[in-house]
């Protein structure tokens, strides 16, 4: 086990225990079975002829306190320049969206490998907030990283740019990178290169994988052309292209519907809650869940349990209630005969306080305890009560999937004295 700490993936071990649930960790473990981006991309310090692509930071200009005599020269092939703060660094980049440098010859504090400024290349912000493909030579500063390679890999580079912007890539990096989700949003080079990135020929169906690469390349190319048309909103064009790309990325990586649920919940609830700001102070994880979210939780929970008990003599149905004043929600599952119509909620379910008092009495009898703990799961005859905090994090479909795993585990470990 200690030898594993020497591996390239060791730093993510502790991070996976921070936000990821048990279901998330299983998805991450599956994705880690794919070849990585680092198998295709080398850093400047590497001498790896087997890796045809290069990643490097942009140049660093001379500061006010730097000695001009120590400046280092850099010759560029183009005067085009893009700033890391540019709003156009989004999926694709055009000539007109770039600035012009006064000269191709620069004197800098720190230069970069000039090959990284050559097309085709993908530009990635350090905070992983912006990703764009550029089909022409363009330079940038050290707040951006570039990935460049042979011109014959153009379609793969467009695919890479689309993939890096996808929910799947952002989900993986959020769950595995050392900074994002804990302090400031930043993805280090080694963490970026850890991303799963199998080339089409390495997948079980190479022909279909190449078709997906070409489809995404065509979508991005068409969007780039459409965005230059008069009276066209670039953001709308990008959003439409992204919607089409997401489905193809999921197919490429064989993401199952339940795995997609984990990704969507992380993107919708977890990531927006990490660093609230004055402009966006909402924290979804602790925002009270709505009746619709609670209903979706119960439906997913029941569907998962009933799916495992398919063709069995019994099934479960559920209901949920909550109180924003108490900050607590309650879900109850009832065992019924398979095929029976849904029944109304239990009589004591209309008043949450009455339901919680009933659970207090049950747990006092079974566990000799006087206080009902939040997060408890209590079996009582043909019912199962789940007491949860009211925050949205506890009522996502991801939470339902993990709760279903725990419920079945408890049932399988049942003893003569009750549930272990």
Contact 113, 44 (CB under 8 A): yes
The reply to whether 284 falls in a domain is no
Express each pLDDT in 142-194 by its tens digit.
999 999 999 999 999 999 999 999 999 999 999 999 888 888 888 999 999 99
The reply to whether 120 falls in a domain is yes
Q: How many CB atoms lie within 10 A of CB 5?
A: 10
- What pLDDT is recorded for position 148? 97
> In this structure, are 229 and 318 located in the same domain?
no
The reply to whether 24 falls in a domain is no
CA distance 99 to 89: 13
> In this structure, are 155 and 226 located in the same domain?
yes
- What pLDDT is recorded for position 1? 47
> In this structure, are 236 and 372 located in the same domain?
no
> Does the structure show a pLDDT above 90 at 81?
yes
Express each pLDDT in 229-261 by its tens digit.
999 999 999 999 999 999 999 999 999 999 999
The reply to whether 8 falls in a domain is no
> Does the structure show a pLDDT above 60 at 85?
yes
- What pLDDT is recorded for position 370? 40
- What pLDDT is recorded for position 324? 80
- Looking at every residue in the chain, the average pLDDT score rounds to 88
> Does the structure show a pLDDT above 70 at 210?
yes
> In this structure, are 345 and 406 located in the same domain?
yes
C-alpha separations of 274 from 6, 163, 218, 288, 352 in Å: 29, 23, 35, 17, 31
User: Of 13 and 366, which is predicted with more confidence?
Assistant: 13
The reply to whether 45 falls in a domain is yes
- What pLDDT is recorded for position 77? 94
> In this structure, are 142 and 214 located in the same domain?
yes
> Does the structure show a pLDDT above 70 at 316?
yes
Chain position carrying tokens 């439409």:
240
> In this structure, are 205 and 80 located in the same domain?
yes
> In this structure, are 296 and 248 located in the same domain?
no
Q: How many CB atoms lie within 10 A of CB 121?
A: 29
> In this structure, are 221 and 349 located in the same domain?
no
- What pLDDT is recorded for position 350? 57
CA distance 414 to 409: 9
> In this structure, are 317 and 246 located in the same domain?
no
State the total domains in the chain.
2
pLDDT interval class at 416 (50, 70, 90): very low
Last residue of a domain, one of 208, 231, 254: 254
Contact 32, 195 (CB under 8 A): no
Q: Which two tokens stand for residue 312?
A: 């069995």
Helix (H, G, I), strand (E, B) or coil at 55: strand
> In this structure, are 158 and 296 located in the same domain?
no
Q: Which helix (H) or strand (E) holds 274?
A: helix 271-274
Closest CA to 116 of 164, 87, 70, 82: 82
Contact 386, 399 (CB under 8 A): no
Express each pLDDT in 366-407 by its tens digit.
555 444 455 677 777 888 888 888 999 999 999 999 999 998
Residue-number span of the structural domain to which 244 is assigned? 34-165+198-254
**Rounded to two decimals, what is the model's pTM?**
0.89
The reply to whether 209 falls in a domain is yes
The reply to whether 285 falls in a domain is no
- What pLDDT is recorded for position 361? 67
C-alpha separations of 170 from 174, 267, 315 in Å: 6, 8, 37
Chain position carrying tokens 């398919």:
310
> In this structure, are 249 and 362 located in the same domain?
no
The reply to whether 190 falls in a domain is no
pLDDT interval class at 359 (50, 70, 90): low
Express each pLDDT in 339-352 by its tens digit.
777 776 665 555 66
Mean pLDDT of 213-234: 96
Contact 93, 132 (CB under 8 A): yes
Query: For residue 248, which phi and psi values (nearest 5 degrees)?
Result: -70, -40
| Burial state string for 28-52 with b = 16 or more CB within 10 A and e = fewer than 16 | beebeebebbbbbbbeeeeeeeebe
> In this structure, are 322 and 392 located in the same domain?
yes
- Provide the percentage of residues in the chain whose pLDDT is more than 90: 61
């Amino acid at each position: 086990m200690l030898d594993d700490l020497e591996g390239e993936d060791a730093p993510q071990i502790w991070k996976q225990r921070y936000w990821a649930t048990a279901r998330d960790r299983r998805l991450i473990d599956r994705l880690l079975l794919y070849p990585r981006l680092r198998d295709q991309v080398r850093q400047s310090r590497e001498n790896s002829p087997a890796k045809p692509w290069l990643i490097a930071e942009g140049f660093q200009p001379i500061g006010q306190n730097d000695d001009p005599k120590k400046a280092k020269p850099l010759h560029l092939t183009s005067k085009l320049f893009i700033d890391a703060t540019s709003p156009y660094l989004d999926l694709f980049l055009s000539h007109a969206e770039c600035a012009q440098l006064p000269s191709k010859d620069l004197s800098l504090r720190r230069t970069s490998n000039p090959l990284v400024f050559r097309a085709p290349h993908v530009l990635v912000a350090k905070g992983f907030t912006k990703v764009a493909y550029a089909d022409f030579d363009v330079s940038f500063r050290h707040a951006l990283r570039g990935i460049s390679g042979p011109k014959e890999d153009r379609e793969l580079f467009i695919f890479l740019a689309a993939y890096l912007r996808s929910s799947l890539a952002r989900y993986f990096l959020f769950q595995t990178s050392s900074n994002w989700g804990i302090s400031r949003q930043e993805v280090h080079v080694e963490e970026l290169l850890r991303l799963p990135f199998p080339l089409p020929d390495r997948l079980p169906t190479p022909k279909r994988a190449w078709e997906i690469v070409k489809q995404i390349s065509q979508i991005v190319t068409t969007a780039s052309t459409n965005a230059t048309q008069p009276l066209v909103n670039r953001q709308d064009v990008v959003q439409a292209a992204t919607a089409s790309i997401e489905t193809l990325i999921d197919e490429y990586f064989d993401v199952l519907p339940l795995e997609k649920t984990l990704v969507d919940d992380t993107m919708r609830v977890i990531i927006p809650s990490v660093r609230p700001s004055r402009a966006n102070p909402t924290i979804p994880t602790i925002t009270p869940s709505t009746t619709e979210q609670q209903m979706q939780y119960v439906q997913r929970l029941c569907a998962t349990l009933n799916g495992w008990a398919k063709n069995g003599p019994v099934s479960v149905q559920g209901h949920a209630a909550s109180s924003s004043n108490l900050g607590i929600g309650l879900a109850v599952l009832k065992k019924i005969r398979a095929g029976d119509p849904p029944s109304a909620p239990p009589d004591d379910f209309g008043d949450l306080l009455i339901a919680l008092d009933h659970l207090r009495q049950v747990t006092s009898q079974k566990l000799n305890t006087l206080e009902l703990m939040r997060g408890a799961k209590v079996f009582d005859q043909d019912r199962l009560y789940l007491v949860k905090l009211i925050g949205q994090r506890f009522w996502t479909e991801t939470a339902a999937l993990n709760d279903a795993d725990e419920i079945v585990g408890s049932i399988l470990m049942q003893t003569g004295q009750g549930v272990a």
